[in-house]
Amino acid sequence: MNARAKKILLLLLAAALLAGSGQFQKSLNLDRDKLGLTHAAALENAPPVLAFTTVALGGFRGLISNFLWIRANDLQQDDKFFEAAQLADWITKLEPTFAQVWLFQGWNMAYNISVKFKENAPGDYTDRWRWVERGVELLRDDGLRFNPNSVDIYRELAWFFQHKMGANLDDGNMFYKSQWALEMKPFFGLQGTNFEALLRPANTGEVAQVQLFTNKFKINPDFAKSVDEQYGPFDWRLPEAHAIYWGARGLDAARNNPDKVKADDLIKLRRIIYQSIYQAFKHGHIIANAFGPGYSLGPNLELVGHVNEAYEKMMQDDAEMRDNIAKAHRNFLRDAVYFLYENNRMPEATKWFKYLGDKYPDKAIIENQPDSLPKNLTLDQYAVAVVQIDIGETSQERVTSAVQGLLVRAYMALVQDDDPRYRNFLGLATRVFEHYTAKTSGSRGDVRIPLPPLDTMKKMVVQNLLDPEHGLPYAARAVLRTQLGLPGETAAPTGTNTMEKASSKALPTNSAAPVLP
């Protein structure tokens, strides 16, 4: 047999073997599906490089990716994060349906690589934020594209919003929040609560905004609205709302694929949701709409009921962690009572103080005071004791709430013409503010987790008290205006304002107020 004939015969044999392996691969894929294993299925709408590698390399791509994975882990151990990220990128092209590599690369970018970059200027973490956002985009845009039902990717994405952006463990966390808020502001409005244009766009400009929102950020407005109605209301400029959104999307994916989900996966998703709701309660309200040196966060008191429901449900669904969840639930109720009391929402504070006592009658509610059972204390005694503790706190949420609450009580004393009490509360608020500022200052004098300026907090408290819809009754508003030397209201109310609470939400920025004493 001549050389030419041998070549033709070998080519025919190779073609036959390739065709046979293709048929055998189909059989293997069917078996792998039955066992719940991944396989080298053809990817839909994949870029050419992914389509080529998944088809051309076949089963061999697993061997190559395993080698690259081992090498990437070695580089990770040696703190060679950039090289490891490049290898992880190659692995995603070889095994795009392998969720673990997306998790690895996203975490690497958001946590490991990002912290290699320091401040560009005081408070400016632009370079670090770029890597955090890239980690989010990798999971959201690419990972979920090829793994739309991966509970692990949904959980990790929610975790990035809750922990990396929402918590205050990273020096750049306030910069991350401000950058994310600026990106979300065009879609959710000045208060972060407007769904109208997203759900019912009225013109071509709003239609284009919805397309940008859904295509770039991969958020379904209808699903987001349902999340807000079930767990909120939230300020969607803040990361906690998005942590809850992606956690809820994960639960939805799990319900649609029950045979591929473990019970522990569902518990982890639920934990992220209830922990994020708690975070949104503690600092889910933007005190100033201008994101700059005065930008700060306060509690979102509208979430108390939803947070409580989330804890109650979690204790039912996660029996193994019931005791730990109950402890967290009790701590939340203590905070809720205190924050409501500080903001002069007395009926609600009274309601939840009673609920705390009924739910945990044998648990002390003041730190280091074993006899401080609910039955032994009045609401006033509890609140005063916590204020004294907060004077030494370095928690931004608690100190912000404490200062706001003391200012409310100061101006309420002014309405009652009790000048000594007014001065006392005002002085205490000033001391708490100054103590926090001094205690949290760095070596350069910068406050790493700043409060808004005290004058800004005074203005906002007064604006809330003078709000005709949610503030004090008309007569009390008139007294407060007189005491502070402010002009009278332009028009008397048509009805009687029987509002029993002063709202904690920010008023429109065009509600001007002078510098207050």
Q: Tell me the whole-structure pTM to 2 decimals.
A: 0.69
Residue among 337, 336, 302, 309 at smallest CA distance from 192? 302
Cβ neighbours of residue 396 under 8 Å, at least 6 residues apart?
168, 283, 296, 297, 449, 450, 451
Q: How many angstroms separate the CA atoms of 429 and 403, rounded? A: 5
Residue type, 398: R
Walk along the chain (517 residues) and give the pLDDT tens digit of each residue: 677 777 778 788 877 776 666 566 666 666 666 665 554 444 444 445 444 445 545 555 555 666 666 676 677 677 676 776 777 777 777 777 778 888 988 998 899 888 888 888 888 899 999 999 999 999 999 899 988 888 999 999 999 999 999 988 888 888 999 899 999 999 998 888 889 999 999 899 899 999 999 999 999 999 999 999 988 899 999 999 999 999 999 999 888 877 777 777 788 888 899 889 989 998 888 875 444 444 577 788 889 998 898 888 888 877 778 888 898 899 899 989 988 887 778 899 999 999 999 999 999 888 778 888 888 888 888 887 887 676 666 677 778 878 888 888 889 888 888 888 788 788 878 878 887 887 776 545 455 567 788 888 898 889 888 988 878 888 888 889 999 988 888 765 554 433 233 333 332 222 333 334 4
b/e 438-450 (16+ beta carbons within 10 angstroms → b):
eebeeeeeeeebb
Burial of 497 (0-12, 13-18, 19+ CB in 10 A): middle
Q: How many angstroms separate the CA atoms of 307 and 15, rounded? A: 63
pLDDT of residue 25: 61
CB atoms within 10 A of CB 92: 21
pLDDT of residue 43: 44
pLDDT of residue 48: 53
Residue type, 126: T
Residue type, 265: D
56 touches 93 (CB < 8 A): no
pLDDT of residue 293: 43
Q: How many angstroms separate the CA atoms of 143 and 148, rounded? A: 8
Q: How many angstroms separate the CA atoms of 232 and 302, rounded? A: 8
Q: Which stretches of 57-162 are DSSP H helices?
A: 60-77, 81-94, 99-107, 126-137, 144-146, 151-159
Q: How many angstroms separate the CA atoms of 164 and 167, rounded? A: 6
Q: How many angstroms separate the CA atoms of 480 and 489, rounded? A: 11
